[in-house]
A and B are shown apart, each in its own frame.
Chain A
Amino acid sequence: MQTLVALVAGVLFGVGLALSGMLDPDRVRGFLAVTGRWDPTLAFVMGGALLPMIVAWRLRPALSQPLAGKRWHVPGTRGVTGELVIGAVLFGAGWGIAGLCPGPAVANLAVAPWAALTFLVAMVAGMALHTFAGRLGRAAGGGGGHP
């Protein structure tokens, strides 16, 4: 059941990305181009996306458990670390360079498969770098890595 819910959520998410224009790297970069030909579309997308989620967070305390699951897997909200900020800086740079973040990159496999795949192979390599650097750090007895 959880798998079906996740599939429906993924499809709905993909439909939303495609309708909103957010699959277009040029349009995303247009939003970031505050000193150039600025395109405010992404702000409307973000506004639209926040509304159902604000409601969902308010509904959550009324549920003792997820509708199709046993328990909540929700991350903490506090504790700003150096790793969080450095990660966000790197992410923002990559987002600005290519105009792509993970959701649109994956959804674009159905629209511009080769370009999307080129980005995704590099993205997964970047993710793997973090995973293995973390494991190496833990194996050496050092800190680092994510929990």
Chain B
Amino acid sequence: MLPDYALPGPGFLGGLLIGLAAALMLLGTGRIAGVSGLVANSLALGGDAPWRVAFAFTVGLPLGAALVGALIGPVPVTFPDLPATLITGGLLVGLGSRMGSGCTSGHGVCGLSRLSTRSVVATLTFMATGMLTVALMGS
């Protein structure tokens, strides 16, 4: 029995679109749809994709979110109150995703689906650390 605040239907449907996007990127351009890598690539902080390919993907993300906002309705989001929380999280996510060669999209979606040992280890590690962090923060 799922809690009433869970969104299994929209979650699965949105997930399918995310997977289709990653599949399009792989079969179309031959590249992994790893957001951390493509963001770094589009800011000349690494990566070997042509700049315009990395930049086009990155710019597409907010365009897609805006499209949902315009066609379906406001997207509900609740951010942490303190800027310090966002800054600390951002620093760790930025450094960690580069050290670990990927994030939720690259390791989680693209790597798990081909049973990459590296991605399975990375995904289990960041899920466990994320859960531990939230538990330690108490909420």
Chain A interfacial positions (CB closer than 8 Å to B): 2-27, 29-30, 32-57, 59-60, 63, 65-80, 83-103, 105-112, 115, 118-131, 146
Contacts and interface: CB of A to CB of B under 8 A. Distances in A.
B134 A9 contact: no
B86 A69 contact: no
B78 A26 contact: yes
Interface string B1-20: 01101111011111111111
Nearest to B116: A77
Contacts, number: 513
Given A3-B56, A4-B56, A13-B33, A55 B8 contact: no
A65 to B, nearest CB: 7
A59 to B, nearest CB: 6
Contacts of A118: 83, 86-87, 90
A98 B29 CA distance: 32
Given A13-B61, A98-B80, A106-B39, A18 B69 contact: yes
Contacts of A127: 36, 39-40, 43, 45-46, 94-95, 97-98
8 contacts: A17-B18, A17-B61, A20-B18, A36-B135, A68-B29, A88-B125, A96-B137, A126-B92
B61 A106 contact: yes
B interface majority secondary structure: helix
A5 B3 CA distance: 38
B17 A96 contact: no
Nearest to B93: A94
B11 to A, nearest CB: 4
Interface of B: 2-3, 5-8, 10-33, 35-36, 39-40, 43, 45-46, 48-50, 52-54, 56-69, 72, 75-80, 83, 85-101, 103-105, 107-119, 121-123, 125-135, 137, 139
A95 B100 CA distance: 14
Contact of B60 (A7, A54, A90): A7
A13 to B, nearest CB: 4
Contact of B24 (A9, A94, A146): A9
A146 B25 contact: no
Given A53-B22, A91-B99, 5 more contacts: A13-B60, A15-B14, A84-B101, A85-B121, A126-B98
Contacts of A21: 7, 10-11, 14, 76
A15 B118 contact: no
Contact of B63 (A11, A74, A123): A11
